[in-house]
Amino acid sequence: MAYMNMSMGEAHRRITDYLNRFSDAVSSQDGASFKSLFALSSNSPFLLSLADAVALFHDANRLINQSDSYSQFSDILLPLLRSVQNYKQGDFVEAYLAFEKTANAFIQEFRNWESAWALEALYVIVHDIRVLAEKADKELASTGKSPEKLKGAGSFLMKVFGALAGKGSKRVGALYVTCQLFKIYFKLGTVHLCRSVIRSIETARIFDFEEFPKRDKVTYMYYTGRLEVFNENFPSADYKLSYALKHCNPQREANIRLILKHLIPVKLSIGILPNHRLLEKYSLLEYSNIVLALRRGDLRLLRCALQDYEDRFLRSGVYLVLEKLELQVYQRLVKKIYIIQKQKDPSKAHQVKLEVIVKALKWLEIDMDVDEVECIMAILIYKNLMKGYFAHKSKVVVLSKTDPFPKLIGKPVNS
Amino acid sequence: MANEGTNTETLVPAQPHQFENRHFDPGQNQPPSYAPTTPGSQAVSWAVQSSTANGGYSNPTYQYDQHPQPPGRSIQDGQNVSSVAGNSSNLGTANVPQDYNAYTSYPSSSNPYGYGSAGYTGYYNNYQQQPNQTYSQPVGAYQNTGAPYQPISSFQNTGSYAGSANYSSTFYNPAPADYQTTGVYQNSTGYANQAPPWNNGSYSSYASHPHTNYTPDSNSSGAATTSVQYQQQQQNPWADYYNQTEVSCAPGTENLSVTSSSTFGGPIPAATSGYATPNSQPQQSYPPYWRQDSSASAVPSFQPAAINSGDHDGYWNHGAQTSQIHQTNPIQPNYQSPLDLKSSYDNFQDQQKTVSSQGTNLYLPPPPPLPPPPQQVVSTPIQSAPSLDAKRVSKMQIPTNPRIASNLTYGQPKIEKDSSTTNTALKPAYLAVSLPKSTEKISSNDAANSILKPGMFPKSLRGYVERALTRCKDDKQMKACQAVMKEMITKATADGTLCTRNWDMEPLFPMPDSDVVNKDSVLSSTHKRSPRRSKSRWEPLPEEKPVDNPVSISNDTVKYSAWVPNVKDRKVVMENKESKEDDLRNTKFSPFIQRTSSKAPQRPFKKQRLTDASIAHENGDASSGSDKEQSLTAYYSAAMAFSDTPEEKKRRENRSKRFDLGQGHRTENNHFRRKNAGAGNLYSRRASALVLSKSFEDGVSKAVEDIDWDALTVKGACQEIEKRYLRLTSAPDPATVRPEEVLEKALLMVQNSQKNYLYKCDQLKSIRQDLTVQRIRNQLTVKVYETHARFAMEAGDLSEYNQCQSQLTALYADGIEGSYMEFAAYNLLCVIMHSNNNRDLLSSMTRLSDEAKKDEAVKHALAVRAAVTSGNYVAFFRLYKEAPNLNTCLMDLYVEKMRYKAVSCMCRSYRPTVPVSYISHVLGFSTSAVANGGSDEKDTEAFEECLEWLKAHGASIMTDNNKDILVDTKVSSSSLFMPEPEDAVAHGDANLAVNDFLAKAPL
């Protein structure tokens, strides 16, 4: 117990020091030092020692109420000290509850401050309340109680969003809150709740998207791009994720990786294959076999890759996207057959017999009968992955003589 | 009560909302008042909305009518009050008479005025013939207004309506009058709080004399309370509303105005002679009316009511202006003399407190038992009242406005008559009716009335008067209001502020309490002002009603008889309410009221709001919720007081159910709903729970959490195995709920039943319902839902299946065992094929455990998913044939889509032809046949079926040299279409076809 070594006077000094910093930051509107006072999850030694001091010095209330400069913020400070203490002790549910009180009181004050000087502190609070809520939920779930703190944090963030969505200088903070909300909603699986926030960001005149901080824009584009992946709206998803990739800090490889994780499937489904080095660099090797399968027309490889990483793909929400690459693999396979035939006999190359395809699939250890392959061929033609027609009588795919296998080049497969 | 707090907040700050509210409120208030008070007015409104008679009227007109009517009443009341102030009962009755007169005059006079006499008569007819219908219609009208608040008011209204409807039309009239008056009161002073007690008191009295008129009053008062609170806030809006309505409804309004004029004229012919000499003679003429009406039948009363409405309208448009102006003035005096009000209020409160239930008795009894006292009261109030409010009123009215004076005089005489006769109450009302006419006549005839000339009064003033009158629940209040307003108007005229004053902003004066007046007269002269305050309703006079009832009954029997039904209804609702609450409220409210009243004169608006807020806070229910609660409490108490015949109970139950429905939709206050919902034992149980919570928290809203709902869970006692499903509209009755053992048998019975799906579905739904209300969640529950889900799948009833599936998901998540795998597969299939939502699909797939993925059914479902996403129709139909469990049934629902997709795909990619036999084979037409090579017969059958299908979908069929039947793909690719399903029904679910249901459903 660290604080056992601390004297009462030391504890008193630390708490007063904290309170002084607080009131100084407010009076001088020093956002930078102000925000550090709330950063619970940063585990700063300053706050950790404060936690010990609060634990030792039981009557922090008295200190706060001693002076007007503190007591006017007692709604913020009291629960904050409690939260710091609980956080240090690992009691995240209590820490969250106290921090939520602080956050609510802070928003009250924040509304009254004309300028946006405390925006940084608000960011910290918004971030930490989410982190605390996640930890609290973990704790609740482990004790068999229903984890609902993150949900509560979500509704608090909506409140914050309301406080920022005005005309003043504070509005640039709205996107940060939005992004934190996205994180919560994605985590909770209540993605549909994003829609209302997105609508207000994209339609409200008070927001000029270019005006927001870059990091928020990147985050926002990342999440909205992911939503577009869910909807299989590939051109839009491609645009948003590419925007995120382009503007993302190149030093933040983890973020780039996250973006690529969703961007690669999107690109694949519009016919653009990534360089293997890219996959290696960002350790996205789960895609390498899929890319290979697409290159080779190897259906078995694709299916294996999908099966191997099924969980991962399901969780990131790209499984269904990748699964649809099957048709492109079939296309590649037929194209290969066509090329081989062309080398043998250019005059008859455009007639691909069904039994040849069935045989090729058998080599790939994929057991499909004629009917099924016929069906696949029909679908390929139907979706415009092959130009030509199928002659049922002779069981032959008759390919167009010009560009029988049109490339997607950025366009999604017709559905 | 949180509800209270919120309500107040919203009401106070949000004027826009208020506007709507007001809209509603007026409607609500009026409606209730309508129903009870002025059948005629109701008729008008109804006619507009539903009925035939008023075809010409538009909805706006409807509203308009309502408004005008109330004003008319209030005007009348005011006049009456001024003269009769003391005679609460008389006044109330007086209003009624006015209405009646108007009505009568209406038909006769209406023709001359251009009103469709037929329409009026139609009203009449409608009203009389179909009281119930009219009743329902008003409700509908309210809904049309659509204000959020309506629910509450409507609730009450319905109650009153129902009561009135059931009763004769005459009853209706009185009730409305009461409503309006009470409303006025509350508006002005926050009497609303007192209202509940009032109700109780009145109820009690009624209870004893179910047939007495007073019960209606109490009912109405309950309604009034709710409406009142709203009105306070909404006063201004009201004015606006009025104006707007007039404008928008220009045609209607014109008509109304005409009617009003006509009504005025009408009255003249009918009662004119008497009116000509307003003071004394009119009374004479009226009494006969009254008697006839009261004794004779509901019809006469109805007519009068209709007349009233007409009169009111006319009042508003023409005479209304004059009269209104006058009335407004009186109103102002009330406000200005807050002190007086306070004193009066205090008195009221005191009386109420002391007497609680007896308080009502006090005022009620006096009139009936002691005809003379009422008279005295009347005279005294008027005369003595002058000391406080009455002084001004009397002075102002009598001297300044000849009309008023005439009215006053009329009212007095009428009152006297009323007092003299048992039916007196009714009579006075009639007299009051005549009064408006007289006033009009006077205005037109008498030069002295020049001030009052309609044209002279600003619209806003009219609106004000309307508002004021709308508040009046009964004739008494109307009279009182009229008197007050006359005073105000004369004063304003004298000041020269008549036209300059912002009437829209003018606070409504506190409701004069006629009842109070009576009490005062009986008890002491100090209460002279009481006439204005009809506080009795508001006050807690509650549980000892029985005692009161006899008295009131004896006097008012005739009138009250009509009201009785209302009482019953309310009783049912209110069974559980306790007198304590009422008392508390009263006490609490009293300070508020005083404050408000005192402040009111200076800052009318703010004061009103304050009062509202205070009311809201203290009542908890105040604005919306509080109203309900109050009414409920009133109901409960009344119910407690009453122990009626089983028939009555039934009726009450029905009505209360109705209320529950209405409220349920409109209000989100579960708390209240639940209370309301309960029937019989539940009522009492839940009500007591509510009461408990209330007493604990006293205005703060934790009540719901504090209630131990577990303790309130139903334990079924029904031993019937078979039970039809009926969607609950109220709290479940344990007598009709089956306990778990019986439900198990019922499930077995259904499973082994040979009857059709409709029967099984019905039975299973009722089993589910019983499980739900008893909060049984165990393996039996799972079994029931699984069984139902399977039946639903077999029958293709997807919506029912979805209900079961979602319940099963929750049940499985709770760890209750069942056929988890099987239903996981179903769920997957359902998501794949019917929700088409990738995120749902992904989350469903993510949730599958490895173990589940090895399950045959789940594997199949996953394969189907793959086939569907890739559009692999061959795979799909193979899986279709191999489907385990009931997967086939779910796939069935997708087959048509899949086939169509497949054929359009084939038509696009195949050239030049596709044999139909191939299609039949690939698309699963040859079901079992293909699988095992099949017999020729089956093949041909499948072939024919496929051919039919292709033709139905627009494929182009041709025959080649080998006589093979082929599909011409090139032609077909552009001609394919998805035909409308043959069995499509308008409501989208063939299973719900009425004929089918009637034909197959057992029972």
Chain B residue with the nearest C-alpha to that of A377: B909
Report which of B514, B525, B381 is spatially closest to residue B88, judged by C-alpha positions. B514
Confidence bin at B298 (pLDDT 50/70/90): very low
For testing contact with chain A, the best of B842, B858, B909 (most A CBs within 10 A): B909
Q: Residue B472: is its pLDDT beyond 80?
A: no
Q: Decide: helix, strand or coil at residue A396.
A: strand
ipTM for the whole complex: 0.83
- Higher-confidence position of A359 and B488: A359
> CB of A375 within 8 Å of any CB in chain B?
yes
Q: Which residues of A touch B874 (CB under 8 A)?
A: 371-372, 374-375
B838, B875, B906: residue with CB nearest A378: B906
Tens of pLDDT, residues B343-374: 334 444 444 443 333 333 333 333 344 334 33
- Summarised one tens digit per residue, pLDDT across range B960-981 is 787 788 888 888 888 888 877 6
Kindly write down the DSSP assignment for every residue of B770-806, as one continuous string. HHHHTT--SHHHHHHHHHHHHHHHHHT-HHHHHHHHH
Average pLDDT over residues B398-426: 39
Mean pLDDT of chain B: 53
Q: Give the separation between CA B233 and CA B239, rounded to whole angstroms.
A: 12
Measure in Å the smallest separation between the Cα of A355 and chain B Cα atoms: 17
Closest by Cα among B199, B76, B977 to B585? B199
pLDDT for res B579: 40
Q: Does A378 touch chain B (CB under 8 A)?
A: yes
H-run or E-run covering A331: helix A326-344
* Residue B872 to residue A377, Cβ atoms within 8 A: no
The single-letter DSSP state of residue B831 is I
What angle do helix axes B579-599 and B604-619 make, rounded to 10 degrees?
170
Identify the pLDDT of residue B648: 55
Looking at residue A241, its pLDDT comes to 94
- Closest residue of B to A324, CA-based? B870
Q: Give CA–CA dist A4/B293, Å, rounded.
A: 93
Q: Determine contact, residues B337/B491, Cβ cutoff 8 Å.
A: no
Tell whether A232 lies on the interface with B, counting CB pairs under 8 A.
yes
Task: Give B903-922 as a DSSP string.
Answer: HHHHHHHB-SEEEHHHHHHH
Q: What is the mean pLDDT of residues B478-495?
A: 71
For residues A40 and B487, the model is more confident at A40
The whole-angstrom separation of Cα A124 and Cα B57 is: 63
Mean pLDDT of B149-170: 36
Nearest to B221 by CA among B563, B641, B484, B679: B563
> Which residues of chain B have a CB within 8 Å of the CB of A230?
838-839, 842
With beta carbons less than 8 A apart as the criterion, state whether B541 and B585 touch.
no
Q: Is the pLDDT of residue A260 over 90?
A: yes
Inter-chain touch B909–A382, beta carbons under 8 Å: yes
CA distance B902 to chain A (A): 9
When computed from its CA atoms, the radius of gyration of chain A, rounded to whole angstroms, is 29
Asked if pLDDT for residue B746 goes beyond 60, the answer is: yes
Would you give the distance in Å from CA B1 to the centre of its chain?
22
Predicted model pTM: 0.52
A144 in reach of chain B (CB within 8 A): no
User: Cβ–Cβ of A319/B906 closer than 8 Å?
Assistant: no
pLDDT at B820 exceeding the cut of 80: yes
User: How many A×B Cβ pairs under 8 Å?
Assistant: 76
Q: What residues in A contact B906, CB-CB < 8 Å? A: 378
Average pLDDT over residues B298-313: 37
Give the model confidence (pLDDT) of A240-255 as tens digits.
Answer: 999 999 999 999 889 9
In chain A, residues with a C-beta closer than 8 Å to the C-beta of B922 are: 371, 375
User: Do the Cβ atoms of B148 and B211 come closer than 8 Å?
Assistant: no
Q: Which residue has the higher pLDDT, B166 or A292?
A: A292
Chain A CB contacts of B846 under 8 Å are: 311, 314-315
Are B874 and A374 an interchain contact pair (Cβ–Cβ within 8 Å)?
yes
Instruction: Report the pLDDT averaged over residues B207-214.
Output: 37
For the cut 70, the answer to whether the pLDDT of residue A354 exceeds it is yes
The answer to whether the Cβ–Cβ distance between B908 and A382 falls below 8 Å is: yes
Contact list in A for residue B902 (CB cut-off 8 A) is 375
Range of weakest confidence among A226-235, A391-400, B241-250? B241-250
Any idea what the Cα angle at residue B965 is, between residues B960 and B971, rounded to 5°?
Answer: 80
Any CB–CB contact under 8 A between A141 and chain B? no
pLDDT at A132: 92
| A392 contact residues in B (CB cutoff 8 A) | 910, 913-915, 918
- DSSP type of residue B967: E
User: Nearest-CA neighbor of B189 among B525, B539, B505?
Assistant: B539
